[in-house]
């Protein structure tokens, strides 16, 4: 679908540059509230939950969204800083009609964005996003004063989410005797994750828990894993866990400092669920490592790929009737316990799996061998590049060379103005060589458009 503002994970961009401006966000709130109200019985008032991460611009956009929604006749409940999955969870718990998160996920503080959940705690559909975009193109008309919405704050939101996270594992599960390093990315999990893991008995070493509005994802978090690696080694931790700025991603580090990504976590979760007969299959994405697919096949666990983006993973999970899916970036959806990618809940599920198998994180990966992967981002000039005959010919030639031992993927990013060129091969050298050749070919083709 051709959407003007929404990408694979909501609307995102640089603060102050259209559409990430206060006036647009206000209009977005009004447009969404207007579309939402159409589906609500006339005598019923729509209610929307709003959460945000720790970016300084969140104050500005929270006020803008609140004003837009109220002007459309919608009641607003403010959560303050909360992880993206917490907003989805609390939306369901409070029977609200929708939830909105103000966040740019793993991006730096100068970016921000908006993600929208329906009353079921899942990302809204492409059709809903198109309806909102169409409404944005119309004139903003405030409802009569007697129909305006009201705004209030939910004071116990943190406690609600903490209790929910604990409820996703069995009551007698604990982390006594385990030393855990937690990297909260100076983001939305900073006041939640350390308490949850401490309450469950872990000896917690916390980092990235001092947000100042500007340091979210800065040298910490799931996209800057080296800080956590050092902490695990320095404090002799059993495991390290890193979240991203809005808490919907998780990456692990084992006791030796080795990084364990989303594909490997899916493997651990799939094997545990097979042992208790609760896995039917696993949904990955086009970016999932070939090593995951082969390892699952060897263990007779079905695997399929969805488009990149946790909303598309969830859509495929629903289609297949499966309860486990995710991305190599660390978006893990445990559909048997929650509705969307949740870093804290996925981390607890992994630790539960390790306890059940009575093995370390590194030992739990026996049987899965990741294929070397090379990823190069090329600045995007035209989406038509993915259909260029010369590029398609190069891709086919590269795939023939790799055979069944590798893959080639070319796709426009849904969150950045780049084309992602990804190659998997038996060796890092081969993957790098082929990937660089394709990237150079694309760049030379782009020169015709510049």
Name the residues annotated as catalytic. Answer: 105
> Structure tokens of 331?
């978006």
Cα separation, 419 vs 439, whole angstroms? 9
Report CA 277 to chain centroid distance, whole Å: 27
How much is the CA Rg of the chain, to the nearest whole Å? 22
Question: DSSP letters of 78-137?
Answer: EEEE--HHHHHHHHHHTT-SEEEEE--TTS-TTEEEEEEEETTSSBPPHHHHHHHHHHHT
3-state secondary structure of 365: helix
| Contacts (Cβ under 8 Å, ≥6 apart) of 155 | none
CB 275 within 8 A of CB 356: yes
Map tokens 């299959």 to a residue: 281
Count of other CB atoms within 10 angstroms of residue 194: 19
Quick check: bond before 19 cis, omega within 30?
A: yes
Cα separation, 81 vs 102, whole angstroms? 9
């Amino acid at each position: 679908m051709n959407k003007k503002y929404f990408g694979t994970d909501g609307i995102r961009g640089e603060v102050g540059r259209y559409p990430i401006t206060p006036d647009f966000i206000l209009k977005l709130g009004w447009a969404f509230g207007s579309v939402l109200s159409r589906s609500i019985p006339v005598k019923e008032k729509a209610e929307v939950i709003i959460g945000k991460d720790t970016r300084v611009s969140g104050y500005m956009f929270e006020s803008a969204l609140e004003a837009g929604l109220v002007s459309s006749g919608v009641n607003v409940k403010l959560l303050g800083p909360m992880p993206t999955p917490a907003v989805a969870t609390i939306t369901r718990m409070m029977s609200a009609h929708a939830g909105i998160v103000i966040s740019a996920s793993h991006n730096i503080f100068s970016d921000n964005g908006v993600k929208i959940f329906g009353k079921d705690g899942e990302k809204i559909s492409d059709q809903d996003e198109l309806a909102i975009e169409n409404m944005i193109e119309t004139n903003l008309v405030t409802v009569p004063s007697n129909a305006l919405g009201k705004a209030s704050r939910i004071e116990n939101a943190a406690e609600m989410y903490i209790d929910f996270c604990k409820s996703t594992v069995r009551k007698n599960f604990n982390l006594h005797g385990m030393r855990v390093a937690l990297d909260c990315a100076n983001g939305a999990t900073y006041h939640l994750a350390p308490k949850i893991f401490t309450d469950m008995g872990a000896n917690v070493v916390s980092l990235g828990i001092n947000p100042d509005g500007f340091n979210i994802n800065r040298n910490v978090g799931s996209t800057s894993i080296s800080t956590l690696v050092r902490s695990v080694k320095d404090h002799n931790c059993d495991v390290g866990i890193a979240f991203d700025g809005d808490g919907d991603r998780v990456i692990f580090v084992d006791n030796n400092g080795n990084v364990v990504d989303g594909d490997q976590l899916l493997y651990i979760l799939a094997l545990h669920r097979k042992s208790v007969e609760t896995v039917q299959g696993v949904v990955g994405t086009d970016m999932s490592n070939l090593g995951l697919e082969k390892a699952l096949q060897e263990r007779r666990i079905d695997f399929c790929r969805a488009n990149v983006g946790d909303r598309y993973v969830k859509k495929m999970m629903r289609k297949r009737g499966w309860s486990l899916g995710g991305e190599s970036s660390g978006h893990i959806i445990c559909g048997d316990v929650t509705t969307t990618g949740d870093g804290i809940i996925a981390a607890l599920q992994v630790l539960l799996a390790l306890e059940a198998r009575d093995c370390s994180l590194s030992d739990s990966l026996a049987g899965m061998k990741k294929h070397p992967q090379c990823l190069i981002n090329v600045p995007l000039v035209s989406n038509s590049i993915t259909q260029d005959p010369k590029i398609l010919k190069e891709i086919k030639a590269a795939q023939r060379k790799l055979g069944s031992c590798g893959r080639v993927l070319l796709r426009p990013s849904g969150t950045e103005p780049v084309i992602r060129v990804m190659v998997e091969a038996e060796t890092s050298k081969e993957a790098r060589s082929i990937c660089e050749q394709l990237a150079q070919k694309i760049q030379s083709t782009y020169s015709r458009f510049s």
